[in-house]
Amino acid sequence: MNRSHVLASPPDNRTKYARTRTRILDAAAYVLSRQGYAGTRLSDVAGRAEIQTPAIYYYFASRDELIEEVMACGLADMRENLKSTLAALPPDTSAIDRILVAAETHLRHELEISDYTTASIRNHGQIPERLRIRADQEGDSYGAIWRQLFDDAARTGSLRTDVDPRISQMLVMGALNWAAEWWDPARTSLDGIVLAAQSLIRSALSTADHDVDAPPPAD
Protein backbone atom coordinates (compact mmCIF):
# COMPACT_ATOMS: atom_id res chain seq x y z
CA MET A 1 0.00 0.00 0.00
CA ASN A 2 1.46 3.35 -1.05
CA ARG A 3 0.31 6.08 1.27
CA SER A 4 2.84 8.77 0.43
CA HIS A 5 1.83 12.13 -0.99
CA VAL A 6 1.60 11.72 -4.75
CA LEU A 7 2.16 15.38 -5.64
CA ALA A 8 5.13 15.71 -3.31
CA SER A 9 7.04 12.71 -4.62
CA PRO A 10 10.05 14.14 -6.46
CA PRO A 11 11.38 13.00 -9.84
CA ASP A 12 14.94 11.71 -9.92
CA ASN A 13 16.34 14.94 -11.34
CA ARG A 14 15.30 17.10 -8.41
CA THR A 15 17.88 18.41 -6.00
CA LYS A 16 18.99 16.64 -2.89
CA TYR A 17 17.41 19.46 -0.88
CA ALA A 18 14.02 18.87 -2.51
CA ARG A 19 14.25 15.11 -2.10
CA THR A 20 15.11 15.39 1.58
CA ARG A 21 12.37 17.95 2.17
CA THR A 22 9.84 15.63 0.56
CA ARG A 23 11.09 12.72 2.66
CA ILE A 24 10.53 14.80 5.79
CA LEU A 25 7.03 15.75 4.65
CA ASP A 26 6.19 12.12 3.86
CA ALA A 27 7.42 11.07 7.30
CA ALA A 28 5.48 13.85 9.02
CA ALA A 29 2.29 12.88 7.17
CA TYR A 30 2.73 9.27 8.28
CA VAL A 31 3.28 10.22 11.94
CA LEU A 32 0.57 12.88 12.01
CA SER A 33 -2.01 10.56 10.44
CA ARG A 34 -1.44 8.00 13.19
CA GLN A 35 -0.42 9.94 16.30
CA GLY A 36 -2.35 13.18 15.89
CA TYR A 37 -1.23 16.76 16.34
CA ALA A 38 -0.45 16.50 20.05
CA GLY A 39 1.39 13.20 19.64
CA THR A 40 3.54 14.16 16.66
CA ARG A 41 7.15 14.63 17.75
CA LEU A 42 9.94 15.79 15.49
CA SER A 43 12.09 12.94 16.77
CA ASP A 44 9.53 10.46 15.41
CA VAL A 45 9.44 12.29 12.08
CA ALA A 46 13.23 12.35 11.90
CA GLY A 47 13.44 8.66 12.71
CA ARG A 48 11.07 7.74 9.91
CA ALA A 49 12.82 10.10 7.50
CA GLU A 50 16.18 8.63 8.55
CA ILE A 51 17.76 11.95 9.45
CA GLN A 52 18.88 13.64 12.65
CA THR A 53 16.17 15.65 14.40
CA PRO A 54 18.00 19.02 14.24
CA ALA A 55 18.29 18.65 10.46
CA ILE A 56 14.54 19.23 10.14
CA TYR A 57 15.06 22.89 11.03
CA TYR A 58 17.11 23.36 7.88
CA TYR A 59 13.93 22.69 5.90
CA PHE A 60 11.18 23.90 8.23
CA ALA A 61 11.38 26.71 10.78
CA SER A 62 9.24 24.85 13.32
CA ARG A 63 7.15 21.77 14.03
CA ASP A 64 4.01 23.78 13.34
CA GLU A 65 5.28 24.95 9.95
CA LEU A 66 5.90 21.34 8.98
CA ILE A 67 2.44 20.28 10.13
CA GLU A 68 0.80 23.22 8.35
CA GLU A 69 2.45 22.14 5.10
CA VAL A 70 1.27 18.54 5.51
CA MET A 71 -2.30 19.65 6.17
CA ALA A 72 -2.47 21.93 3.14
CA CYS A 73 -0.82 19.39 0.83
CA GLY A 74 -3.24 16.68 1.84
CA LEU A 75 -6.33 18.59 0.82
CA ALA A 76 -4.72 20.01 -2.33
CA ASP A 77 -3.78 16.50 -3.42
CA MET A 78 -7.28 15.25 -2.71
CA ARG A 79 -8.80 18.04 -4.80
CA GLU A 80 -6.56 17.40 -7.78
CA ASN A 81 -7.19 13.66 -7.60
CA LEU A 82 -10.95 14.16 -7.58
CA LYS A 83 -10.82 16.65 -10.46
CA SER A 84 -8.82 14.29 -12.64
CA THR A 85 -11.04 11.31 -11.78
CA LEU A 86 -14.23 13.18 -12.66
CA ALA A 87 -12.70 14.56 -15.85
CA ALA A 88 -11.92 11.00 -17.00
CA LEU A 89 -15.54 9.82 -16.72
CA PRO A 90 -17.60 9.34 -19.89
CA PRO A 91 -19.53 12.51 -20.79
CA ASP A 92 -22.87 10.74 -20.36
CA THR A 93 -22.20 9.69 -16.75
CA SER A 94 -25.27 10.64 -14.72
CA ALA A 95 -25.08 13.28 -12.00
CA ILE A 96 -25.80 10.73 -9.27
CA ASP A 97 -23.17 8.34 -10.61
CA ARG A 98 -20.66 11.20 -10.57
CA ILE A 99 -21.42 11.69 -6.88
CA LEU A 100 -20.93 7.97 -6.25
CA VAL A 101 -17.60 8.03 -8.07
CA ALA A 102 -16.59 11.04 -6.00
CA ALA A 103 -17.46 9.13 -2.83
CA GLU A 104 -15.28 6.21 -3.88
CA THR A 105 -12.44 8.53 -4.86
CA HIS A 106 -12.65 10.30 -1.50
CA LEU A 107 -12.64 7.09 0.51
CA ARG A 108 -9.79 5.46 -1.38
CA HIS A 109 -7.64 8.59 -1.20
CA GLU A 110 -8.42 9.10 2.48
CA LEU A 111 -8.01 5.52 3.63
CA GLU A 112 -5.54 3.95 1.21
CA ILE A 113 -3.59 6.32 -1.02
CA SER A 114 -2.39 9.30 0.98
CA ASP A 115 -1.14 9.74 4.54
CA TYR A 116 -1.34 13.46 3.85
CA THR A 117 -5.07 13.34 3.28
CA THR A 118 -5.67 11.11 6.30
CA ALA A 119 -3.60 13.48 8.43
CA SER A 120 -5.53 16.49 7.12
CA ILE A 121 -8.93 14.99 7.80
CA ARG A 122 -8.15 13.51 11.20
CA ASN A 123 -6.34 16.56 12.60
CA HIS A 124 -8.32 19.49 11.27
CA GLY A 125 -10.06 20.01 14.59
CA GLN A 126 -6.90 19.47 16.64
CA ILE A 127 -4.49 22.01 15.20
CA PRO A 128 -4.46 25.67 16.29
CA GLU A 129 -6.59 28.02 14.20
CA ARG A 130 -3.53 29.83 12.83
CA LEU A 131 -2.42 26.59 11.18
CA ARG A 132 -5.78 25.97 9.54
CA ILE A 133 -5.82 28.97 7.19
CA ARG A 134 -4.18 27.25 4.22
CA ALA A 135 -5.93 23.96 4.90
CA ASP A 136 -9.30 25.74 5.08
CA GLN A 137 -8.64 27.43 1.74
CA GLU A 138 -7.84 24.08 0.16
CA GLY A 139 -10.86 22.55 1.83
CA ASP A 140 -13.12 25.26 0.41
CA SER A 141 -11.81 24.53 -3.10
CA TYR A 142 -12.40 20.83 -2.59
CA GLY A 143 -15.89 21.44 -1.23
CA ALA A 144 -16.71 23.56 -4.27
CA ILE A 145 -16.32 20.50 -6.48
CA TRP A 146 -18.79 18.61 -4.32
CA ARG A 147 -21.22 21.53 -4.32
CA GLN A 148 -21.21 21.49 -8.12
CA LEU A 149 -21.86 17.75 -8.15
CA PHE A 150 -24.92 18.13 -5.94
CA ASP A 151 -26.15 21.21 -7.79
CA ASP A 152 -25.89 19.28 -11.07
CA ALA A 153 -27.85 16.40 -9.57
CA ALA A 154 -30.60 18.78 -8.44
CA ARG A 155 -30.65 20.62 -11.76
CA THR A 156 -30.99 17.44 -13.82
CA GLY A 157 -33.68 15.95 -11.61
CA SER A 158 -31.41 13.16 -10.36
CA LEU A 159 -31.67 14.34 -6.75
CA ARG A 160 -34.82 13.77 -4.76
CA THR A 161 -36.81 16.99 -4.47
CA ASP A 162 -37.47 16.48 -0.76
CA VAL A 163 -33.80 16.73 0.20
CA ASP A 164 -31.71 19.89 0.40
CA PRO A 165 -28.62 19.67 -1.86
CA ARG A 166 -26.35 21.60 0.49
CA ILE A 167 -27.37 19.76 3.64
CA SER A 168 -27.09 16.44 1.82
CA GLN A 169 -23.62 17.33 0.54
CA MET A 170 -22.36 18.21 4.01
CA LEU A 171 -23.86 15.06 5.55
CA VAL A 172 -22.28 12.85 2.88
CA MET A 173 -18.86 14.48 3.17
CA GLY A 174 -19.00 14.32 6.96
CA ALA A 175 -19.76 10.61 6.88
CA LEU A 176 -16.96 9.94 4.40
CA ASN A 177 -14.47 11.87 6.50
CA TRP A 178 -15.48 10.04 9.66
CA ALA A 179 -14.47 6.72 8.09
CA ALA A 180 -10.85 7.67 8.83
CA GLU A 181 -11.66 7.41 12.54
CA TRP A 182 -13.44 4.07 12.68
CA TRP A 183 -12.39 1.95 9.70
CA ASP A 184 -10.48 -1.20 10.64
CA PRO A 185 -9.05 -2.94 7.55
CA ALA A 186 -8.71 -6.16 9.52
CA ARG A 187 -12.49 -6.33 9.89
CA THR A 188 -13.88 -4.76 6.72
CA SER A 189 -12.34 -4.42 3.27
CA LEU A 190 -12.05 -1.01 1.67
CA ASP A 191 -14.10 -2.33 -1.25
CA GLY A 192 -16.85 -3.18 1.22
CA ILE A 193 -16.77 0.31 2.70
CA VAL A 194 -16.97 1.87 -0.77
CA LEU A 195 -19.93 -0.28 -1.84
CA ALA A 196 -21.80 0.38 1.40
CA ALA A 197 -21.27 4.12 1.10
CA GLN A 198 -22.42 4.18 -2.51
CA SER A 199 -25.50 2.12 -1.71
CA LEU A 200 -26.48 4.43 1.14
CA ILE A 201 -25.95 7.56 -0.93
CA ARG A 202 -27.94 6.23 -3.87
CA SER A 203 -30.80 5.01 -1.68
CA ALA A 204 -31.00 8.29 0.21
CA LEU A 205 -30.62 10.75 -2.66
CA SER A 206 -31.43 9.28 -6.06
CA THR A 207 -34.76 9.58 -7.82
CA ALA A 208 -33.92 6.46 -9.84
CA ASP A 209 -34.79 2.89 -8.90
CA HIS A 210 -32.45 1.36 -6.33
CA ASP A 211 -31.56 -1.65 -8.44
CA VAL A 212 -29.77 0.21 -11.22
CA ASP A 213 -26.25 -0.75 -12.17
CA ALA A 214 -23.34 0.41 -10.03
CA PRO A 215 -21.37 3.44 -11.27
CA PRO A 216 -18.05 2.99 -13.06
CA PRO A 217 -15.19 2.49 -10.59
CA ALA A 218 -12.87 5.40 -9.85
CA ASP A 219 -9.32 5.10 -11.18
How confident is the model at residue 9, as a pLDDT?
45
**Domain with 70 in it: what CATH number?**
1.10.357.10
User: For residue 144, is pLDDT > 50?
Assistant: yes
Q: Is residue 156 part of a domain?
A: yes
Q: Is residue 11 part of a domain?
A: no
Q: pTM score, two decimals?
A: 0.80
Q: Is residue 27 part of a domain?
A: yes
Q: Is residue 39 part of a domain?
A: yes
Q: Is residue 218 part of a domain?
A: no
Residue 23 to residues 45, 59, 60, 116, 181, Cα–Cα distance (Å)? 10, 11, 12, 13, 25
Q: Is residue 20 part of a domain?
A: yes
Q: What is the pLDDT of residues 4-37, one digit of tens each?
A: 444 444 444 468 888 899 999 999 999 998 999 9
Q: Is residue 212 part of a domain?
A: no
Q: Is residue 26 part of a domain?
A: yes
Stated as kind and residue range, the H or E segment containing 97 is helix 95-108
How does residue 2 score in pLDDT terms, banded at 50, 70 and 90? Answer: very low
Contact 77, 114 (CB under 8 A): yes
How does residue 140 score in pLDDT terms, banded at 50, 70 and 90? Answer: very high
Centre a 10 Å sphere on the Cβ of residue 172 and count the other Cβ atoms it contains. Answer: 22
What mean pLDDT comes out for the span 155-184? 93
Q: At what angle do helices 63-87 and 16-39 cross, to 10 degrees?
A: 100
Task: Look at the chain and report how many structural domains it folds into.
Answer: 1
Domain coverage including residue 175:
16-205
